[in-house]
């Protein structure tokens, strides 16, 4: 299945059906009176969040969605049939944005959510609705109310606990393959990862979801390489795993460049908890490795984990560090929620 994480679609809810003007005409009923029925209600546009779906590819080739209009009313007080709703199934983590691609209209983060986005128009009244003691033969009938319509953007932000960032060929795909059952493409040339990959990683008796993102290069915020659009998938992550290629001559420059791109993207990524991993330790001489670790520690003021995704060296320590950051963030969120509840 192809991966698509954003698309533009047109939505229109159904128009309400028209009311009708009719009169009861029966042989033995002298004063039949008005019996025009009301129009039916137009169909709604509904978003439903489903599990086991991680792409918006269904909306790549079908981009216009129009709900059914309500049917007109009929004589004998018969109300027109309502229009059928259109239910759009989307993955967990989908956002519905206005045409400006900035205003968030819906944020769908839980499986099973079902939200009416555009309501269908109400049906018009038939002439029986306007019968009064002074107007016993009304001919007025109303047209149905029009439905709503708009263009919107769908943007998917994958729900993952931890996100992998780094330069191309930093070993992110190798790390994901070594720690989960995911099978990302691995090769010795840049940009082998062209779309986000998810893997379920086990740490002791617990599991978490790790997202491997396409590599960033300098100027990604200006569109260089694959740009930084895929960083949207990191926004929901609790922690970032920043992998650095230990065979690079300037590991400190590589680290600072990625941090610069995270800051340029915004959305609070620069402030997320970060675990730094110096990868490919099996290919670096011991003295050179120590010097690079010292440089990174001094600049980042954080612990630096030495690892090799290819051989498994240092990988368990990195996974436990990621898990510890997730637990700490969850506990902090729960404490903040309790404190807010206590003040109410």
Q: Is 279 annotated as a binding residue?
A: yes
Q: Is 194 annotated as a binding residue?
A: yes
SS3 for 66? strand
Q: Is 158 annotated as a binding residue?
A: no
Q: Is 33 annotated as a binding residue?
A: no
85 closest CA partner among 163, 11, 136, 190: 11
Q: Is 80 annotated as a binding residue?
A: no
Contact 49, 108 (CB under 8 A): yes
Q: Is 273 annotated as a binding residue?
A: no
Q: Is 16 annotated as a binding residue?
A: no
Q: How far apart are the C-alpha atoms of 335 and 61, rounded to whole Å?
A: 46
Q: Is 170 annotated as a binding residue?
A: yes
Q: Is 127 annotated as a binding residue?
A: no
Q: Is 309 annotated as a binding residue?
A: yes
Q: Is 169 annotated as a binding residue?
A: yes
Q: Is 156 annotated as a binding residue?
A: no
Q: Is 190 annotated as a binding residue?
A: no
3 token code pair: 């991966």
Q: Is 167 annotated as a binding residue?
A: yes
Q: Is 105 annotated as a binding residue?
A: no
Q: Is 269 annotated as a binding residue?
A: no
| Residues paired with 64 in a beta bridge | 10
Q: How far apart are the C-alpha atoms of 87 and 97, rounded to whole Å?
A: 18
Q: Is 225 annotated as a binding residue?
A: no
Nearest-Å Rg of the Cα atoms of the chain is 29
Q: Is 58 annotated as a binding residue?
A: no
Q: Is 89 annotated as a binding residue?
A: no
By the 10 Å C-beta count (0-12 exposed, 13-18 middle, 19+ buried), 91 is classed as buried
Q: Is 231 annotated as a binding residue?
A: no
Sequence-distant contacts of 178-184: CB under 8 A, at least 24 apart:
178/309, 178/310, 178/312, 178/315, 179/210, 179/315, 179/319, 180/210, 182/212, 184/212
Q: Is 198 annotated as a binding residue?
A: no
Q: Is 224 annotated as a binding residue?
A: no
Q: Is 139 annotated as a binding residue?
A: no
Q: Is 133 annotated as a binding residue?
A: no
Annotated binding site for Mg(2+): 173, 193
Annotated binding site: 166-173, 191-195, 212-215, 279-282, 308-310
Annotated binding site for GTP: 166-173, 191-195, 212-215, 279-282, 308-310
């Amino acid at each position: 299945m192809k991966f698509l994480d954003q698309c533009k679609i047109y939505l229109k809810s159904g128009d309400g059906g028209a009311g009708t003007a009719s009169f009861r005409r029966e042989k033995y009923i002298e004063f039949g009176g008005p019996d025009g029925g009301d129009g039916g209600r137009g169909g709604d546009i509904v978003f439903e969040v489903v599990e086991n779906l991680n792409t918006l590819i269904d909306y790549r080739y079908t981009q216009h969605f129009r709900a059914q209009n309500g049917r007109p009313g009929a004589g004998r007080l018969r109300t027109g049939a309502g229009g059928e709703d259109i239910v759009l199934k989307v993955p967990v983590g989908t956002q519905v944005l206005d045409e400006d691609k900035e205003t968030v209209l819906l944020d769908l983060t839980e499986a099973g959510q079902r939200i009416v986005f555009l309501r269908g128009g109400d049906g018009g009244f038939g002439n029986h609705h306007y019968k009064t003691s002074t107007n016993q033969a009304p001919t007025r009938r109303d047209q149905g109310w029009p439905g709503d319509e708009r263009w919107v953007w769908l943007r998917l932000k994958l729900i993952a606990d931890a996100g992998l960032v780094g330069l191309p060929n930093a070993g992110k795909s190798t790390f994901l393959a070594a720690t989960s059952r995911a099978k990302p493409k691995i090769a010795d040339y840049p940009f082998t990862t062209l779309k986000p990959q998810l893997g379920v990683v086990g740490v002791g008796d617990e599991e978490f979801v790790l997202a491997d993102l396409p590599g960033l290069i300098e100027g990604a915020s200006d569109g260089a390489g694959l740009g930084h659009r895929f960083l949207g998938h990191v926004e929901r992550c609790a922690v970032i795993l920043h992998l650095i290629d230990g065979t690079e001559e300037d590991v400190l420059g590589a680290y600072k460049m990625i941090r610069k791109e995270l800051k340029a993207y915004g959305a609070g990524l620069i402030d997320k908890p970060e675990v730094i991993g110096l990868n490919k330790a099996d290919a670096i001489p011991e003295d050179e490795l120590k010097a690079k670790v010292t440089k990174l520690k001094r600049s980042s003021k954080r612990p630096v984990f030495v690892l090799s995704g290819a051989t498994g060296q240092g990988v368990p320590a990195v996974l436990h560090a990621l898990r510890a950051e997730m637990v700490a963030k969850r506990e902090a969120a729960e404490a903040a929620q309790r404190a807010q509840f206590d003040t109410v």
